[in-house]
Amino acid sequence: MNFFDHQRAARSSTLKLVFLFIVAVVAMVAFIDAAAAVAMTYRRADPSAVFDVVVGVTAVTLLIIAGGMITKTVALRQGGAAVAASVGAVQVDPTSSDPQLRRLVNIVEEMSLASGVPAPRLFVLPEEPGINAFAAGFTPADAAITVTSGALSQLNRDELQGVIAHEFSHILNGDMRLNIRLIGLLNGILLIGLTGLRVLQFGGGRGGGSKNGAPIWMIALAMMVLGFIGVFFANIIKAAVSRQREWLADASAVQFTRQTDGLVGALKKIAGIASGSALRDARSATEVSHMLFGEGRRSFRAWYATHPPLADRIKALDPSFDPREVDALKQRYGQRLPDGLAEDAMAGFTPTGTASAVGAAVQPAATVAGPFGAGRRGISPEQVADRAGTLTRADLQHGSALHATIPPDARRLATQPSTAAAAIIALLLARPGDPLHARQLASVAQRLGHREAQAAAALVNTMTVLPAELRLPLVDLAIPQLAAHPPAFREALLGVLNELAVADGSVSMFEYCVTRLVWSYLQDAANPHRRSKVGHGSLDRVRPTVTTLLATLAVAGAGDQESARRAYDGALRRLYPDAAAPPPRQVAWQQALDQGWAGLDGLAPKAKQALVEAMAVAVTADGTVTTAEAEMLRAACALMHVPLPALLT
């Protein structure tokens, strides 16, 4: 399945789970009502009283389930960071100099640059010696990846990259939203059992032997029994769904890294070390069990396990694996636990997690191409759409090389919450000495204060000398840091960026991409639950916006009006075969697109796939892809929540 098929499958899985949840709730309410009716009959109540009690019990039961579900969902509404915090994880400073954390940050940033998704926030479970990890969130913008301290210390770089690739596949495949919904649904059912238990503990004993106490006692007992039975079966459903997605994530991780050694090595270490992948905190292990890389707790029944057996996972990746190897691994790691950094040193990696000259896996910076590779030829529209939401080994090598090419000072400024906003602002400022520079700084000072204006001015020389192909990647690294600021600052920042973009009377393609990418990310971060829904709109409903977008892309890279007309005509007819395509114009295209992004983002997955293919027609009609076209194409896809990796030369 490609990215769009995964989106449809995720929506289908969500609908099935909601249906099963409704069936479970109806069954539970029916049985609890039956218990209430029996209890009232025991009291020899008249039929009208029985009816009133049953109605009341139904209402209370539904309120308890809904309250438990809503309370948990609201608590996790802020996405991945809220889930990580709920299990006691500690956020990682992206500028940390700790060798283990620096290696983790580098791997994630490289994968982010390669895949076209914002770098997820990183968390560590500090007191967990087992090897495990999970990704949580609603959208890539609010995604968080949490790893255990055991994974950081015991996995080498290739193994850690395999685990992170596994978690990135959950982000790209849309699994995270479903995972959070599972937590909420399960909590609603669990609360029924807990309520019944509490009533029995604190209220069921008073008058429990009399006829007056019998109804309450029987209803509470039914709630407790049915609630815990419901949780039991809900956990079985959760485990079955999780096992299926774990197979897919393993396969995707291999596709991303184009090598199985890293992922196999991580799984073998889990099998060999005493702590395995289990979490010490039983509550955390239960709540996020379906999200984890490995089993968070030991399961005594295969159908209750959230992950396929370790031996089966390893065998699927390495057919030559002999399960008897596990005994040798246990003996080896029983004497001495693995040391990931030491293994890296032997493989030629530096303590910071980058390749050294001895065993460099990353090509020299000079080989880095621009986004999509300036001058790229021979890309079909179908190939572009198929690349959405996926990675290849070449993409990862490109992301690593791109990460290494960004000047360290610029990368440090972009990845610090205190300087990320100033770094983005500096990219849009005119050079000192230009009359426009002073007016732009005055605008920054008016909205964000003199300190932020001075910080941005100090970074102009660092940021404006960056090559064109490094500007948007730097923005990609900086954007995730903006969510740490209060809402008032984020709102003011958007106003500043818009003013800077139009300060010279026109808006370049780069300026438009930066301002809208920042806007979209902050919208996602502010309300990830609402912004993560899979759409169902049709192309006919957004036709005016589609024509503007295709015209903009056609004009962006065309050398003359006739080339632009041909590119636009080919792209438009791919979506609307009967369309009469007038010569494209770029008049007020920014305003037209701004009004239409919500509609494009709300398209059904199949319609989005067709639109991405049409956009690819517009930018490849002349056989090449310019930097401006590449930036606009990737930005347009990002605004529709379609992550697109760079297409390499």
Confirm whether 194 is domain-assigned.
Answer: yes
CA 445 – CA 457 distance, rounded (Å): 11
Confirm whether 526 is domain-assigned.
Answer: no
Partners of 135 in the β-ladder: 145
- Say if residue 170 is in the same domain as residue 182: no
Give the residue with greater pLDDT, 448 vs 6: 448
CA 118 – CA 114 distance, rounded (Å): 10
- Say if residue 249 is in the same domain as residue 188: yes
Contact between residue 296 and residue 278 where contact means Cβ atoms under 8 Å apart: yes
Domain end, chosen from 317, 340, 363, is at 340
DSSP state of 142: G
Confirm whether 252 is domain-assigned.
Answer: yes
CA 425 – CA 607 distance, rounded (Å): 35
- Say if residue 259 is in the same domain as residue 182: yes
Confirm whether 403 is domain-assigned.
Answer: no
- The closest of 354, 638, 425 to 516, measured between CA atoms, is 638
Which residues carry out catalysis? 167
pLDDT tens digit string along 275-311?
888 888 877 677 777 778 888 776 545 556 777 888 8
CA 10 – CA 417 distance, rounded (Å): 33
Please give the sequence-ordered ranges of beta strands (E in DSSP) within 111-183, or none if there are none: 121-125, 133-136, 144-148
CA 522 – CA 169 distance, rounded (Å): 23
Domain end, chosen from 340, 374, 391, is at 340
Residue 390 has pLDDT above 70, yes or no: yes
CA 513 – CA 509 distance, rounded (Å): 6
Residue 635 has pLDDT above 60, yes or no: yes
CA 97 – CA 85 distance, rounded (Å): 23
Confirm whether 257 is domain-assigned.
Answer: yes
Partners of 91 in the β-ladder: 123
Q: Which two tokens stand for residue 462?
A: 């660092």
- Say if residue 147 is in the same domain as residue 91: yes
The CB-based long-range contact list for 278-282 (8 Å cut-off, 24+ gap) reads: 278/130, 278/132, 279/125, 279/128, 279/130, 279/132, 279/148, 280/127, 280/128, 280/129, 280/130, 281/87, 281/88, 281/128
Contact between residue 146 and residue 136 where contact means Cβ atoms under 8 Å apart: yes
Output the DSSP codes for 489-538.
Answer: HHHHHHHHHHHHHHTTSS--HHHHHHHHHHHHHHHHHH-HHHHTPPP-B-
pLDDT tens digit string along 265-278?
999 999 999 888 88
Chain centroid offset of residue 590 CA: 28
- Say if residue 90 is in the same domain as residue 77: no
- Say if residue 55 is in the same domain as residue 163: no
**CATH code for position 102:** 3.30.2010.10
Contact between residue 349 and residue 359 where contact means Cβ atoms under 8 Å apart: yes
What pLDDT score does 339 carry?
94
CA 313 – CA 260 distance, rounded (Å): 11
The CB-based long-range contact list for 364-368 (8 Å cut-off, 24+ gap) reads: 364/401, 365/401, 365/404, 365/405, 367/401, 368/398, 368/401, 368/402, 368/405, 368/469
Domain end, chosen from 340, 356, 384, is at 340
Give the residue-averaged pLDDT of 235-262: 70
What pLDDT score does 365 carry?
35
- The closest of 116, 186, 117 to 145, measured between CA atoms, is 117
Residue 521 has pLDDT above 80, yes or no: yes
Confirm whether 567 is domain-assigned.
Answer: no
- Say if residue 68 is in the same domain as residue 115: no
- Say if residue 148 is in the same domain as residue 111: yes
Confirm whether 128 is domain-assigned.
Answer: yes
Give percent above pLDDT 70 in the chain. 81
Give the residue-averaged pLDDT of 518-528: 86
Q: What is the overall mean pLDDT for the chain? A: 81
- Say if residue 73 is in the same domain as residue 89: no
Residue 497 has pLDDT above 80, yes or no: yes
Instruction: Convert 551-580 to b/e letters by CB count within 10 Å (16 or more is b).
Output: bbbbbbbbeeeeebbebbbbbbebbbeeee
- Say if residue 45 is in the same domain as residue 167: no
pLDDT tens digit string along 157-177?
999 998 998 888 877 776 666
Confirm whether 582 is domain-assigned.
Answer: no
CA 255 – CA 162 distance, rounded (Å): 10
CA 609 – CA 140 distance, rounded (Å): 19
Residue 649 has pLDDT above 50, yes or no: no
Give the residue with greater pLDDT, 474 vs 12: 474
Give percent above pLDDT 90 in the chain. 27
- Say if residue 157 is in the same domain as residue 101: yes
Helices vs. strands in the chain: H and E counts, helices first? 28, 4
Output the DSSP codes for 355-413.
Answer: B-SSS--S--GGG---TT-TT-----HHHHHHHTT---HHHHHHHHHHHHHS-HHHHHH
Residue 443 has pLDDT above 70, yes or no: yes
- Say if residue 161 is in the same domain as residue 186: no
Highest mean pLDDT, choosing among 64-68, 142-146, 182-186, 446-450: 446-450
Highest mean pLDDT, choosing among 13-22, 176-185, 466-475: 466-475
Give the residue-averaged pLDDT of 112-137: 89
* Count of domains for the chain: 2
**Residues spanned by the domain of 93:** 85-174+277-340
How close are the terminal C-alpha atoms of the chain, in Å? Answer: 25
Give the ranges where 419-464 is alpha helix by DSSP (H).
420-428, 435-448, 450-464
Chain centroid offset of residue 576 CA: 33
Residue 533 has pLDDT above 80, yes or no: no
Residue 499 has pLDDT above 90, yes or no: yes
pLDDT band at 358 (very low <50, low <70, confident <90, very high): very low
Q: What is the 3-state secondary structure (H, E, C) of 452-501?
A: HHHHHHHHHHHHHCCCHHHHHHHHHHHHHHHHHCCHHHHHHHHHHHHHHH
Residue 401 has pLDDT above 90, yes or no: no
Amino acid occupying residue 352: T
